[in-house]
Structure 1
Amino acid sequence: MTRYDDDLRLAHTIADQVDSHTLSRFKALDLAVSTKPDTTPVTDADTAAEEMIRATLHHARTRDAIVGEEFGETGHGSRRWVVDPIDGTKNFVRGVPVWATLIGLLDGDEAVVGLVSAPALGRRWWAAKGSGAWTGKSLAAASRMHVSEVEQLADASFSYSSLGGWEERGRLESLLDLGRSAWRTRAYGDFWSYMLVAEGAVDIAAEPELALHDMAALVPIVTEAGGRFTSLSGAPGPFGGDAVATNGRLHETVLDRLAARD
């Protein structure tokens, strides 16, 4: 089996560089915020962070392609680095510390490396195919993660995104039905929901509308922790445009509950 330890170490090096920059711009009085064509916000911190990531990857992985939220896709290699410089930009803009840099690696159509760094929370999570999922401040100071062993929906903690997207996708009633059946519901949002699944603190996370850059880094972390990550239709991986992550034991039940209703 191909090992991706060197790629994971590179992702950590990049995250160390980017964390310093994004933290310096968090709550900055001169933060420049504009609106993209899809009406989502982007800041000077987003664009500068992605430029930093791209510069390092261009030097260290010359044959690999890069897919980024802010500058699209460059290169044509079968290996693609997929990056979201700041996942949770709305939180970043409002001074909420729940935001992170996501760095993922696809080898063909398989997500094989994922790193999520949330410096304002003082947290980092990572995984490489076959190497397990870990959390800590560095490779040398880490603890292994495992999903929960909860088997019944009535005992499960469920984290979801804002209600508007579920309503637009015709799945609001399905979401509410799942929430009523679960032991606990919270909207932790963005990357954090999925990292809590990997840690075993949450059992289910789901969102109705996501892009590749939102998910590529999350998939290896959840799956290497023993969980499942699919689209709402059940297709594995980060390509379905939406996401369900669970501890595995609850996955089929959750997919059934979140199915669109006529």
Structure 2
Amino acid sequence: MTSGRGFSEDMRLAHVLADQADSISMERFKAQDLQVETKPDLTPVTDADRAIEEQLRISLSRARTRDAVMGEEFGTTGHGSRKWVLDPIDGTKNFVRGVPVWATLVALMDGDEAVVGLVSAPALNRRWWAAKGVGAWTGRRLENATRCTVSGVSTLGDASLSYSSLSGWEERNALDGFLDLTRSVWRTRAYGDFWSYMLLAEGAVDIACEPEVSLWDLAAVDVIVREAGGRFTDLSGTPGPAGGSALATNGALHDASLRTLGTATG
């Protein structure tokens, strides 16, 4: 499996894809004629979501002909061991309401491992990225970036916890454990979606968790958190972004968070 600087060209391609996505999303953000529909899972989708994913798929079909592609809006195409995972707009509800906290997520998976991840939030004028073995970074361009490093907080009582919402915890029969975690930490805020994980990678938040999420929500943030020095698992403690839930920490707080949540297995 390729590692280190072997992913540099893929990282550059991810930035090109993000530039394309930003151009489309910013043109449609707060547009008076924005088209919004409700999907079967009762979540919103806009014409911007679909236009972004369509454009990124076209670009990948030209630049990475052998790679598979998975996207939130149009499913999976191709059968390669390398797979690009796309979330055209993470935070669509914010996008629809004019809240600037939303982003395009682009990830590359090599087998079951996320090896490249990029999060672009153009309304915040922020971008984060990482590749296996070369660290996590934030800035506007590859050539002008600041390295991301998780915090050194080592006790729950000093920790800042971010989450998306309370919905989903009760369905997992995990609401009591989640509330126990919120009572154990110093501070809680619902920054939500990608933003929780990027703040964690920068050291501003120490724990982030969600009870129900998809691979396209997590693949990019997984590698960014890990390359920033953190730890990323599902709520059972299994590493990786494919478990349908997420617990990300600075590493030092992971085991204590799992114990408090009471969701770990094994």
Query: Aligned partners of 1:131, 1:149: CA distance in 2, in Å?
Result: 20
Query: Aligned partners of 1:204, 1:197: CA distance in 2, in Å?
Result: 7
Do 1:114 and 1:217's aligned partners in 2 also have CA atoms closer than 8 Å? yes
Which residue of structure 2 aligns with residue 155 of structure 1?
A: 158
1:1-262 counterparts in 2 under 5 A? 1-2=2-3, 3-260=6-263
For 2:122, the aligned partner's letter is P
Query: Aligned partners of 2:190, 2:180: CA distance in 1, in Å?
Result: 15
Give the secondary structure class of the aligned counterpart of 1:166: coil
- CA-atom RMSD, angstroms? 1.0
For 2:80, the aligned partner's letter is G
Query: Aligned partners of 2:260, 2:183: CA distance in 1, in Å?
Result: 11
Do 2:86 and 2:107's aligned partners in 1 also have CA atoms closer than 8 Å? yes
Q: State the TM-score, normalizing by the size of structure 2.
A: 0.97
Query: Aligned partners of 1:161, 1:120: CA distance in 2, in Å?
Result: 19
Give the secondary structure class of the aligned counterpart of 1:4: helix
Do 1:91 and 1:98's aligned partners in 2 also have CA atoms closer than 8 Å? yes
Residue 260 of structure 1, CA deviation: 4.4
For 1:89, the aligned partner's letter is T
Query: Aligned partners of 1:201, 1:12: CA distance in 2, in Å?
Result: 24
Q: Flag structure 2 segments of 5+ consecutive residues without an equivalent.
A: none
Q: How many residues in Structure 1 have an aligned counterpart in Structure 2?
A: 261
Residue 128 of structure 1, CA deviation: 0.3
Do 1:197 and 1:246's aligned partners in 2 also have CA atoms closer than 8 Å? yes
Q: Flag structure 1 segments of 5+ consecutive residues without an equivalent.
A: none
Residue 46 of structure 1, CA deviation: 0.1
Query: Aligned partners of 1:56, 1:260: CA distance in 2, in Å?
Result: 40
Give the secondary structure class of the aligned counterpart of 2:197: helix
Give the secondary structure class of the aligned counterpart of 1:134: strand
Give the secondary structure class of the aligned counterpart of 1:19: helix
Give the secondary structure class of the aligned counterpart of 1:245: strand
Query: Aligned partners of 1:147, 1:260: CA distance in 2, in Å?
Result: 24
Query: Aligned partners of 1:38, 1:209: CA distance in 2, in Å?
Result: 13
Give the secondary structure class of the aligned counterpart of 1:24: helix
After superposition, the C-alpha distances for 1:170-222 in whole angstroms (9 at most, x for unaligned) are 11111111111100000000000000110000000000000011101111100
Query: Aligned partners of 1:121, 1:161: CA distance in 2, in Å?
Result: 18
Give the secondary structure class of the aligned counterpart of 1:54: helix
Do 1:170 and 1:260's aligned partners in 2 also have CA atoms closer than 8 Å? no
Residue 223 of structure 1, CA deviation: 0.2
After superposition, the C-alpha distances for 1:14-39 in whole angstroms (9 at most, x for unaligned) are 10111011001000000000011111
Residue 66 of structure 1, CA deviation: 0.1
Query: Aligned partners of 2:151, 2:55: CA distance in 1, in Å?
Result: 36
